[in-house]
Amino acid sequence: MRIIDLIIKKKRGEVLSREEINFFIDGYVSGDIPDYQISSLLMAIYFQGMNKQETTDLTMAMVDSGDKVDLSAIKGIKVDKHSTGGVADTATLIVGPLVAAAGGLVAKMSGRGLGHTGGTLDKLESIPGLNISQSMERFAEIVNTCGVSVIGQTGNLVPADKKLYALRDVTGTVDNVSLIAGSIMSKKLASGSDKIVLDVKMGSGAFMKDVHGAVELARMMVDIGTLAGKETIALVTDMNQPLGNAVGNALEAIEAIEILAGKHEGDLKVVSCLLASKMLVLGGIFPTEEKAMAKINQVIENGEALKRFGQMIEMQDGDSEVVNNTDLLPSAEKIIEIKAEADGFIQAMNTEDMGMVALLLGAGRTKKTDIVDPAVGYWLKKRIGDSVKKGDILADFYVNDEKNLDESIELFKKSIIIGNNPGKKINLIYDTIS
């Protein structure tokens, strides 16, 4: 078998066999096939696409390229949750304790933020002492004890995806549905959970900017999970404005705690509770979403959800008192009010730029080696459809380093469109794929 033959075959729009896909993945990971030939093949895939079976075979070849997580020491059905990323998407910090408190199991490996999207691990590490690096034995012990643990990736998971993604990033082949789906699902399948709930974001702050593309991606990932023997469902949800009001690591931890404590409402709570209800049904804890949602509301009201979050924090070496006193989280030196410059309505937001605002303040990273300031970011005071008067506060900026402050304020103001009418109402949930 020769890689040039596969390039020509895919260039003609023909279907690659499982053996051919395994050949090029194995050869690339081992170093036997060079970057320039894989780049050519990726471009052929980009233009010609892959069918459902090819995409599944690609995903499984990437899964098989490295280690797989064994969660058999955790007794029960483990349901994973994954978001395709966005701004103020703090759902994992809320969903995990909700599911655990309602009787489910969440054994989750998460990632860090890069670019305009926030990272779950960065948010968790804003909690004093919390350790996201746990042995697999300790990981299982935490989940068996309190029902939830969120840690960083361990071992050599999916090395093929790391190599392919780095190459796609510099060859203009990132935005292909099969390649995106394979990248996401390879990591999910290697992470060891029994079933998967996906939150596919759509809008100005998401990778998929329109509903059609987001639904196509969701269907592809559900198909991959199903063909791989893992029951998978997907929600297509909105990212045309930040999901929560807090943008920045410690601030997002505060918002998550407030939601778990029953002190905060809004879109982030709605999506988190819906995801949790799907996970509880998929995990066999409740027969219907209605019964699951009733239990979710109960564990918020009786404090059990917040208690589970505190247990997880403590078992991962963090200061669990933060769930009762958020003043223990890192705080910024200055709070600066950003005010509206005209009367009107919030008609739209450029959410990707709003994520970059937090990055400029120091809450994110442009490369993996950048140091994140857990205290900085901003708290939105207005959302799409809200009326504003000149001088109203649009957001509070939490600031330490003022180096990029003027640029971040200018970008934030440009990101919020104020007009004479409320504009088109946006949906929060667009579709459910199962």
252-276 pLDDT, tens per residue? 999 999 999 999 999 999 999 999 9
* pLDDT at residue number 143: 97
C-alpha–C-alpha distance, residues 290 and 298, integer Å: 12
- Per-residue tokens: 351: 């959410």
C-alpha–C-alpha distance, residues 317 and 238, integer Å: 34
* pLDDT at residue number 108: 95
Active site residue 26: no
Poorest-pLDDT segment among 87-96, 136-145, 230-239, 368-377: 368-377
- Kindly list the structural domains of the chain, giving each domain's residue range(s) and its CATH number in brackets, ordered by start: 3-49 (1.20.970.10), 79-323 (3.40.1030.10), 332-419 (3.90.1170.30)
CA distances from 162 to 59, 67, 83, 165 (A): 13, 13, 18, 5
Poorest-pLDDT segment among 166-175, 370-379, 390-399, 412-421: 166-175
User: How confident is residue 202, by pLDDT bands cut at 50, 70 and 90?
Assistant: very high
* pLDDT at residue number 113: 67
Q: What is the mean pLDDT of residues 339-366?
A: 94
* pLDDT at residue number 375: 98
Active site residue 183: yes
Bin 114: left if φ > 0, else alpha if -120 < ψ < 50, else beta.
Answer: beta
Q: What is the DSSP letter of 157?
A: B
Sign of the torsion angle spanned by Cα atoms 93, 116, 236, 262: positive
Angle at CA of residue 120, ends 116 and 124, nearest 5°: 125
E strand intervals along 115-170: 148-152
Q: What is the mean pLDDT of residues 152-176?
A: 88
Catalytic: which of 187, 195, 295, 382? 187
* pLDDT at residue number 369: 74
Poorest-pLDDT segment among 115-129, 190-204, 325-339: 115-129
Catalytic: which of 57, 122, 161, 199? 161
Active site residue 308: no
* pLDDT at residue number 114: 65
Mean pLDDT of the chain: 95
Tokens 């919390």, located at residue: 130
Catalytic: which of 123, 163, 168, 195? 168
User: How confident is residue 115, by pLDDT bands cut at 50, 70 and 90?
Assistant: low
**What's at 259, amino acid-wise?**
I
Inform me whether the pLDDT recorded for 426 exceeds 90.
no
Active site residue 116: no
Catalytic: which of 10, 81, 82, 382? 82
* pLDDT at residue number 111: 81
C-alpha–C-alpha distance, residues 242 and 426, integer Å: 13
Catalytic: which of 126, 183, 186, 320? 183
Active site residue 82: yes
Inform me whether the pLDDT recorded for 368 exceeds 70.
no
- The answer to whether the beta carbons of residues 74 and 200 sit under 8 Å apart is no
* pLDDT at residue number 362: 93
What tens digit of pLDDT does each residue of 275-299 get? Answer: 999 999 999 999 999 999 999 999 9
* pLDDT at residue number 154: 76
* pLDDT at residue number 168: 92
- The answer to whether the beta carbons of residues 54 and 223 sit under 8 Å apart is no
Inform me whether the pLDDT recorded for 367 exceeds 80.
no
Inform me whether the pLDDT recorded for 430 exceeds 80.
yes
